[in-house]
């Protein structure tokens, strides 16, 4: 029983429920405590997932001596404050994407993790999924040659509500930070840092981006066309053009899915057997990192998070998307 890792969750919203379900499938993991701004909500969540400790504020969870690692599932603008509070209580942190609202906040989170000598990682769950790891290996080993281009999109139709997390500026609304981060991460993880960024967006009456188009240019004429929208359902695929094949990460490319390889006029579909939402893979990785006494992931490194937030900041500057 000694190697059981006790987890806590901050914020009882949509993603917290999915993560709690997947965490129950992770060996040696126990969802031990849950915190909400509303005690009754935490209690209800706790009962649903057999959690014995529930709190009506986030700080009490951070103070819980038994908790080893905290998953932060609040809206983006609170990631920075919530993470720093947990790190200062010597808790390891897995914080939802986007890591924070800008690079200065991310740098402060990383330096706080280093100062307290505790683990910190951005919950970029796609990176840990079997199909995505498979594609990364194909690209890194150049099995089908070098990348020539990437096209990736993520769109769904959200009902416009100025007070909702998706459209309210104070809650970090907009397509880019919520879903556009996935096509951007796809480009970063598969191709790297671009030489040129060209971004355009359509803003809502609440001043956040309803849709965002990003064109990235790299050396050797490699380019990436990325798109996110809260306005309509899109293919939500990633199409990678290589010298000797096309790789299609099927709908929806950021979550457990299949991969198609088209080469020599033949098409091969590879299925990956995943019976969860897919959040268990990042949680398993966190536990492995903790077992090795690391404060930084070997996959979703601090550097990768800094690169990702730099790209998001650069796109935001171009489309005139500013948050308080």
Ligand X SMILES: NC(=O)c1ccc[n+]([C@@H]2O[C@H](COP(=O)([O-])OP(=O)(O)OC[C@H]3O[C@@H](n4cnc5c(N)ncnc54)[C@H](OP(=O)(O)O)[C@@H]3O)[C@@H](O)[C@H]2O)c1
Q: Note the residues at the interface with ligand X (CB under 6 A).
A: 11-16, 36-38, 41, 73-76, 78, 96-97, 123, 125, 165, 171, 178
* 218 vs 281, beta carbon nearer ligand X: 281
In 3D, which of 20, 97, 102 has the Cα closest to residue 313?
Answer: 102
Q: Are strands 246-249 and 238-242 parallel, antiparallel or unpaired?
A: antiparallel
Q: Nearest approach, Cβ of 277 to ligand X (angstroms)? A: 8
Q: Nearest approach, Cβ of 97 to ligand X (angstroms)? A: 6
CA separation (Å) from 91 to 5, 59, 94, 109?
12, 12, 10, 13
* 99 vs 218, beta carbon nearer ligand X: 99
Residue recorded with tokens 């990042």: 282
Distance in angstroms (rounded) separating the CA atoms of residues 7 and 30: 6
Q: Nearest approach, Cβ of 149 to ligand X (angstroms)? A: 26
Q: Nearest approach, Cβ of 36 to ligand X (angstroms)? A: 3
Q: What residue is closest to ligand X based on CB?
A: 13
Q: Nearest approach, Cβ of 166 to ligand X (angstroms)? A: 9
* 76 vs 91, beta carbon nearer ligand X: 76
Q: How many other C-beta atoms are found inside a 10 Å radius of the C-beta of residue 63?
A: 13
Q: Nearest approach, Cβ of 157 to ligand X (angstroms)? A: 16
* 125 vs 132, beta carbon nearer ligand X: 125
Specify whether the CB–CB gap between 162 and 206 falls below 8 A: yes
* 138 vs 238, beta carbon nearer ligand X: 238
What's 198-226 look like in SS3?
EEEEEECCCCCEEEEEEEEECHHHCEEEE
Q: How many other C-beta atoms are found inside a 10 Å radius of the C-beta of residue 322?
A: 10
* 140 vs 324, beta carbon nearer ligand X: 324
**φ, ψ at 218 (rounded to 5°):** -120, 175
What are 3's two structure tokens?
């190697």
């Amino acid at each position: 029983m000694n190697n059981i890792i006790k987890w806590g969750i901050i914020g009882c919203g949509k993603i917290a429920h999915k993560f709690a379900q997947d965490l129950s499938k992770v060996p040696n993991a126990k969802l031990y405590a849950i915190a909400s701004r509303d005690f009754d909500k935490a209690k209800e969540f706790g009962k649903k997932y057999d959690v014995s400790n529930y709190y009506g504020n986030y700080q009490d969870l951070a103070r819980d001596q038994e908790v080893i690692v905290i998953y932060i599932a609040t809206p983006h603008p609170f990631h920075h404050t919530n993470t720093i509070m947990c790190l200062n209580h010597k808790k390891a942190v897995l914080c939802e994407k986007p890591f924070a609202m800008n690079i200065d906040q991310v740098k402060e989170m990383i330096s706080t993790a280093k100062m307290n000598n505790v683990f910190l990682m951005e919950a970029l769950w796609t990176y840990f999924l079997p199909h995505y790891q498979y594609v990364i290996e194909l690209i890194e080993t150049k099995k089908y040659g070098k990348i020539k281009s990437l096209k990736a999109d993520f769109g769904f139709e959200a009902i416009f509500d100025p007070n909702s997390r998706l459209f309210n500026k104070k809650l970090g609304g907009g397509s880019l930070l919520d879903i556009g981060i996935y096509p951007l991460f796809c480009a970063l993880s598969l191709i790297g840092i671009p030489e040129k960024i060209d971004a355009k967006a359509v803003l809502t009456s609440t001043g956040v981006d309803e849709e965002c188009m990003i064109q990235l240019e790299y050396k050797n004429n490699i380019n990436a066309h990325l798109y996110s929208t809260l306005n309509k359902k899109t293919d939500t695929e990633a199409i990678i053009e290589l010298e000797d094949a096309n790789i299609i990460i099927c709908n929806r490319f950021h979550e457990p899915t299949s991969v198609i390889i088209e080469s020599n006029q033949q098409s091969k579909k590879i299925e990956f057997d995943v019976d969860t939402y897919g959040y268990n893979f990042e949680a398993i990785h966190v536990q492995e990192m903790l077992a090795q006494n690391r404060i930084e992931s070997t996959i979703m490194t601090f550097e990768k998070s800094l690169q990702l937030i730099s790209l998001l900041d650069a796109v935001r500057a171009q489309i005139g998307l500013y948050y308080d």
